[in-house]
Chain A
Amino acid sequence: MRDAFIRALSEITAQDPRVMLVNGDLGFGVLTDFIERFPDNYVNAGVAEQNMTAVACGMALAGARAYTYSIGNFPTMRCLEQIRNDVCYHRADVTVVSIGAGFSYGQLGVSHFATEDLAVLRAIPELTVVSPSDAWQAYALTHQLHALGGPSYLRLDKTAAGLSEVPIEIGRARTVRKGADAVIFATGSILGEAVAAAHGLASEGRSVRVVDIHTLKPFDAESVCEAAEACKTVVTLEEHVVNGGLGGAVAEACLEGGAAVTAFRRMGLPDIFPSIVGDQAWLRAHFGLDRTTVANTVRQLLL
């Protein structure tokens, strides 16, 4: 996904000299081509994320279209107040890019688990929050965010859902798979687990809808409500704590929209810090976020 982002940003920069990529001293090998092609559109702010974000904000307020870039929680929580007070309150044209969503850096330990960012960032006014599930989405959403302008957060996963490319639009939920017995809402590459679970359930005669929520904010409450109302049994799946992220957003939309939901389950990390490590797939399975557990959860809810 990060390569797709950089490819899109390179295309954007070739057209728009206002672009400024402010890097937090990461991206070995990934950014080399961009830096060589666009030396005037790049600065390495060093290992100083508060300043990276403040500088990007100042540049944006003086006419740049700025991007900050780092991994995990560094460009988000480390400098959360710069995002809130400087970027968002001033509606500065800064896109915060974090690679390493969820357990992307699963072996590196809790410092590198980006598993609360969606809840934290979707609470901030003015910020668009997107969480693509595939590289082609990262590419498309990068272009769309640039066209949209204004503060945004782009959450990039190491892995991909592996679904084929279709047109998407910021702020519009995408139905990936039709179904009427239950609906799974998912965000990020873990969407692939939801689709695999739905596929397995289909062979048992259960028709499970899967909806891709690539935009957490603005949240497509209307589509979510419609899907929940139609399917009655609702599951949310995210590589993120269950508090306040996708599950919270779906629950809020369903309750406030009056959707007649009969069963509701948020699948995500429990309210703990994982102290063990592993690769992304292993950690997903360990915390019950893999296709098998998703399918079992839906089965139980449909009993």
Chain B
Amino acid sequence: MSSETEALALRLRRHVVRMCSAGGSSHVGSGLSIADIVALLYGEVLRVDPANPDWADRDRFILSKGHAGACIYAALAESAFFPVAQLAAHYRNGSNLSGHVSHKNVPGVELSTGSLGHGLGVGAGMAMQLRRMGGRQRVFVLLSDGECDEGSNWEAALFAAHHRLAKLCAIVDYNKLQSLAPVEDTLALEPFADKWRAFGWTVDHVDGHDHRALGAAFHAASQSDRPACIIADTIKGRGVSFMEHQVLWHYRSPQGAELEAALLELGCGYANA
């Protein structure tokens, strides 16, 4: 917890809104939903080296909900993996910064995703191999709630618990909205924490916008002797009042007055400020 990570989260939100506007892309609500989690990770938790993205002893972070890629590109740029100015290329013709996060020619991205249900299994494999080699690196995988419909996550959950992959930490961005409707009206996940517990994971259930709570959860996860799942209660579109809790902003790109209003709420007087 720090004012620094909160300031970083605010910058991430501004980037996400601008990127989704300039490129005309979807998923602005998803990027805003995870901004605090991502700010904690890149600002405080992850041991990574922007000057040496392939450093063998680095922690690994996988965005399994690849559609929120804008927020990760923003975090990587803010962490100096590449210049912030490059974010302007997001979603543009010929750009490496695809709508769903991609590692090719983008330093710092561990895994390209976009099809849901891929990240946790790969993260489990990373955690197992790093342990085999005697490493102490942690592996973080950020999932969406709707993504937990994918059975592959539960294959990975079984595997990680069976092998006691204690360095593996899943975070679920639990904003309770998925593609068309609320999660509970689509495929109910509740009792969600119980499911992870029953699979053999340590579970923490926190406010996903409270940096102090998130920081404590990441610390608690580091002490677990089993894989840990942090269920982070979030608000889709968090930080921009008219986007909050709205499925519409899974798809709509903020333009014109909407962009100005969004940035104003995020503390920017002008869209180009």
Contacts and interface: CB of A to CB of B under 8 A. Distances in A.
B159 A58 contact: no
B132 A54 contact: no
Interface string A2-34: 000000000000000000100000000000000
A140 to B, nearest CB: 28
Nearest to B117: A50
A1 to B, nearest CB: 27
Contact of B126 (A40, A53, A62): A62
B31 interface: no
B110 interface: yes
**A interface majority secondary structure:** helix
B79 interface: no
A90 B111 contact: yes
Interface string B155-176: 1101100110000000000000
B121 A54 contact: yes
B86 interface: no
B121 A82 contact: yes
A194 interface: no
A43 interface: yes
Nearest to A48: B155
A62 B57 CA distance: 10
A63 B123 CA distance: 13
Contact of B122 (A40, A45, A61): A61
Nearest to B141: A58
B110 A45 contact: no
B219 interface: no
Interface range, A side: 20 to 34
A51 B123 CA distance: 10
Contacts of B163: 43
Contact of A50 (B60, B126, B152): B152
B110 A61 contact: yes
A62 B125 contact: yes
B103 interface: yes
B97 interface: no
B112 A89 contact: yes
Contact of B118 (A54, A56, A62, A66): A54
Interface string A248-278: 0000000000000000000000000000000
**B interface majority secondary structure:** helix
Given A46-B158, A86-B122, A64 B129 contact: yes
B152 A57 contact: no
B124 interface: yes
B228 interface: no
B111 A51 contact: no
Contacts of A40: 132
Given A51-B159, A58-B129, A85-B115, A90 B121 contact: no
Contacts of A57: 121-122, 125
A81 interface: yes
A54 B129 contact: no
Given A54-B156, A90-B112, A59 B121 contact: no
Nearest to A41: B132
Interface string B123-149: 111111110110000000000000000
Given A51-B152, A90-B112, A59 B118 contact: no
A55 interface: yes
Most chain A CB neighbours (cut-off 10 Å) among B125, B128, B156:
B125
A55 B158 CA distance: 12
B125 A59 contact: yes
Interface in A71-85: 81-82, 85
Contacts of A43: 128, 163
B121 A55 contact: yes
A55 B111 contact: no
A60 B110 CA distance: 12
A142 B118 CA distance: 28
Given A86-B111, A90-B103, A54 B124 contact: yes
A185 to B, nearest CB: 35
Nearest to A53: B121
Contacts of B124: 51, 54-55, 58
A50 B150 CA distance: 11
Contacts of A54: 118, 120-122, 124-125, 152, 156
Interface in B206-259: none
27 contacts: A40-B132, A43-B128, A45-B159, A48-B158, A48-B159, A50-B151, A50-B155, A51-B155, A51-B156, A53-B121, A54-B118, A54-B122, A55-B124, A55-B125, A57-B121, A58-B125, A59-B129, A61-B110, A62-B126, A62-B129, A63-B129, A63-B133, A64-B129, A66-B125, A82-B152, A85-B115, A89-B104
Given A57-B122, A58-B127, A62-B125, 13 more contacts: A45-B159, A48-B155, A48-B159, A50-B121, A51-B156, A51-B158, A57-B125, A58-B125, A60-B129, A61-B125, A63-B56, A66-B125, A82-B118
Q: Which 3 A-B pairs have the closest CB atoms?
A: A58-B125, A54-B121, A51-B155
